[in-house]
Amino acid sequence: MKKYTLVLALFILAVKSQAQTTLSFCTTVQDNNCIFNNTKFITSPDSVTAKIYMFIKNDRGFGTTKVSYELFSLDKEGTEKRLNSIEQKVEESWIYAWQPSLLNSPGKYRVKVYNANQELICNKSFEFFNVW
């Protein structure tokens, strides 16, 4: 009996890991693909803001009707300061969605994505910097 319980638990864990929502950052989205996916972006020295696309994907579908992108700036110690929230209506069967945002540059940021039940489904950080 213990052997079957372990096999069942491993199966459930494998299914859940395959259904995980991922968050990517890109400079644009074309044909439902994240272009120039990265976590570090060089910005122009004569610009104080930069545009980024937050691209989420789940091969099994989002399973929710709404996602919320919570944006935070990060200081040198990594402490979060909430900037704003962007809500997006989605369909449960959708496997990808994206949302643009204009943020100050240079800067470090974290994005946390929540479903309609306010459950965290993914999060990731990125940075804008200039080299001049």
Rounded-to-integer distance, Cα 6 and Cα 31, Å: 42
* 61 closest CA partner among 108, 97, 14: 97
Prediction pTM value:
0.83
- What's the chain's average pLDDT? 89
Q: At 44, is the pLDDT very low, low, confident or very high (cuts 50, 70, 90)?
A: confident
Query: Which pLDDT score is estimated for 16?
Result: 47
3 or 119: which leads in pLDDT = 119
pLDDT over threshold 80, residue 1: no
Summarised one tens digit per residue, pLDDT across range 88-109 is 999 999 999 999 999 999 999 9
In the chain, what are the domain boundaries?
Answer: 21-129
Q: At 21, is the pLDDT very low, low, confident or very high (cuts 50, 70, 90)?
A: very high
* CATH code assigned to 21-129: 2.60.40.1930
